[in-house]
Chain A
Amino acid sequence: MAREFDGEILACEPVMGDSTLMTVTLPRGMAGGMVAGQFVQILTRMDGSHDPLLRRPYSVYGVDPDTDTMRLLVRPYGRGSAWLAERQVGQTLDILGPLGNAFQISPRARNLLMVAGGVGAAPLVMLSEQALARGLSVTYLMGGMRAEALLAPALVPAAVEYVVATDDGSRGHRGFVTDLVPDYLSWADQIFACGPEAMFLSLRGVVMRHRVGGKPTVQVSVERGMACGLGACLGCVVETKRGMRTSCVDGPIYDMDEVVW
Chain B
Amino acid sequence: MPDLAVDLAPRNPRELVLKNPVIAASGCFGYGLEYAGVMDVARLGAFVSKGITPKPRSGNPMPRITETPAGMLNAIGLQNPGIRGFVKKYPRVWETWSVPAIVNISAEAVEDYALMARILDELPGIAGIEVNISCPNIAAGGYCFGWDAGMSADVTRAVRAATTLPLIVKLSPGAMDIVGVALAVEEAGADAISLINTLVGMSIDVKRRRPVLANATGGLSGPAIKPVAVRMVYQVAGAVRIPIVGMGGIMGLDDALEFFLAGASAVQIGTAIFAQPGMLVRVIDELGAWMDKEGIASLAEIVGAAHPRRPAIVEAGQVGMVDVAEVAAG
Categorize the interface residue count of chain A. 20 to 34
Q: Is the CB of A4 within 8 A of B38?
A: yes
- For chain B, what secondary structure do more than half of its interface residues adopt (helix, strand, loop), or is it mixed? loop
Categorize the interface residue count of chain B. 35 or more
A89 within 8 A of B: no
Given A3-B38, A4-B276, A233-B274, check contact A53 B79 (CB 8 Å).
no
A227 within 8 A of B: yes
Chain A residues, Cβ within 8 Å of B70: 49-51, 53
Given A96-B277, A233-B76, A233-B274, check contact A225 B65 (CB 8 Å).
yes
- In the complex, what distance in Å separates the CA atom of A43 from the CA atom of B207? 27
The residues in A between 213 and 240 inclusive whose CB is less than 8 angstroms from any CB of B are: 224-228, 230-237, 239
- In the complex, what distance in Å separates the CA atom of A1 from the CA atom of B275? 17
Question: 0/1 per residue, A233-261, Cβ < 8 Å to B?
Answer: 11111010001100001000000000000
Q: Is the CB of B65 within 8 A of A232?
A: no
- In the complex, what distance in Å separates the CA atom of A54 from the CA atom of B188? 39
B205 within 8 A of A: no
Q: Is the CB of B30 within 8 A of A231?
A: yes
Contacts A4-B38, A225-B66, A249-B34 known; 11 new A-B pairs at CB < 8 A: A45-B275, A53-B71, A224-B62, A230-B38, A231-B30, A232-B28, A233-B74, A234-B64, A235-B64, A235-B76, A237-B79
Contact sample, A vs B, 27 pairs, CB 8 Å cutoff: A2-B38, A4-B39, A4-B278, A45-B275, A50-B71, A51-B70, A53-B222, A54-B67, A55-B274, A227-B65, A227-B275, A228-B28, A228-B34, A228-B273, A230-B37, A230-B38, A230-B277, A232-B28, A232-B29, A232-B30, A232-B35, A232-B274, A233-B65, A233-B74, A235-B64, A236-B65, A237-B62
Q: Which residues of B pack against A, CB within 8 Å?
A: 27-30, 34-35, 37-39, 50, 58-59, 61-67, 69-72, 74, 76, 79, 222-223, 251, 271, 273-278
Q: Which residues of A pack against B, CB within 8 Å?
A: 1-4, 43, 45, 49-55, 94, 96, 224-228, 230-237, 239, 243-244, 249
> 3 closest Cβ contacts across the A-B interface?
A232-B30, A235-B65, A232-B34
